[in-house]
Structure 1
Amino acid sequence: MNSKTQKIIINLEDSKYLNWKLCLRNKLKNLKSSNIEIDCKNLDLSCTEISDIISIVNQSNCKVISFYSSSSKTIVSSQSLGYKSQFILENDSYENLKTKEKDLTVSKTNFHQGTVRSGEYLESPGDLLILGDVNPGAKVSAEGNIIIWGRLLGIAHAGNKGNSKATISALHFRPVQLRIAKKVARGPKEKPQLGLAEQARIDSEVIIISPLENT
């Protein structure tokens, strides 16, 4: 295989190293002009940390082409920066989620693939991860957190059984209404910054929205 098109998978979780940055730098030492797929395992990485990975890989004259992770936060962070990202179910190999059933419940997280359309209602007894958009007129609700790998344009209710620590995250944050536990807020009037994943949470008894990397 031509070294210029060589594809290498780097696992960031390796017990031989103190942290993922040392692990990544060590594994890049002998790689040049390679396309790199980053396996983040269950590491929860922010947009800033994903940017650090890109920078470290670029310094080795390599290029990141995609990310794998079983952490929804890492997937949202990498996707918001424009990188191909694949959510991996725990104890699963690199298997495309599209081959799975439309709705799965694994480790108390409900996965829904596809757009939630106007008039539709989606509810989860645990966390809810949506691989698609939530359109205006649609409502999604969960006892735990809600993570939307797409646009939130409808209504989202996290912590619907009273969990005030629940959060709502999305790649494009323009909801009609937000609810967390018993708190209610209307969506922001200003347009969200392009490519910036955001998260809503309760702080000082009110719902606030902030960039995902700062939460």
Structure 2
Amino acid sequence: MGAKTTSFAGRFSTNHRLMDEKKLRKIAINDETLKLDMNDLIDVRTKLGHCLVGHIAGKFLGLKAIKALSQSWGASFHQHTSGWLVFKFATNEDMQRIMTGGPYFVLGRPLMLETMPACFEFQKDVINITPVWAPTSLALECWNSNALSKIRSRLGNPVAMDSLTMQMERISYSRFLVEVDAFKKLVDQVEFILPNGVVRKQPITYEFTPKFCMACNRFRSFEGSLPPTGHKEV
């Protein structure tokens, strides 16, 4: 009588009592492209908490400085092998406070931060989308989130306004964080019509502008068109 054979998976489940959530099971599939539904995915925020992802412009070796900055924020820090940085915060309020409090510099290099997008894959490829701060002098009536979002959408993808803009505690200019494509020329003027019929040609300035090296696929340095406002450096 031949010996009874057991699959590797069977032996593993016998020798190790796994929690149900750790077990994998065989699912019947066809030859078509696999399709994952929302119930196949996990809620990353539930697992990891409130996270910002970031990267440093150019080649960066200042890991100790990054850890020190993370500790000053009260956040935990993880580095992905692709070079992306992950900062975990206890609350959404803590995360938003840091997100709207920049820009931040580490050893003289800008730290680019954004909230972790859905299905973020930590690609090691070209990082051409980068957030920049754009301070702009606008009529106070335009300091409505709808108006500011419309104007900033001409520049790129609006991310957030800083806390002073939100509370109108600094009336000299509004200040927004916008994601721009470093491959493209930055918008330097936005034209819009006010409700009273006045046409406004609004000049746009940036606290720093990305300089992207196509040869090495990375940011080499940044040019400042305006002195950074209240920037933090480690």
- State the TM-score, normalized to the length of structure 2: 0.26
Q: Which has the larger radius of gyration?
A: 2
- Higher relative contact order structure (alpha carbons within 8 Å, sequence separation ≥ 6): 2
- State the TM-score, normalized to the length of structure 1: 0.28
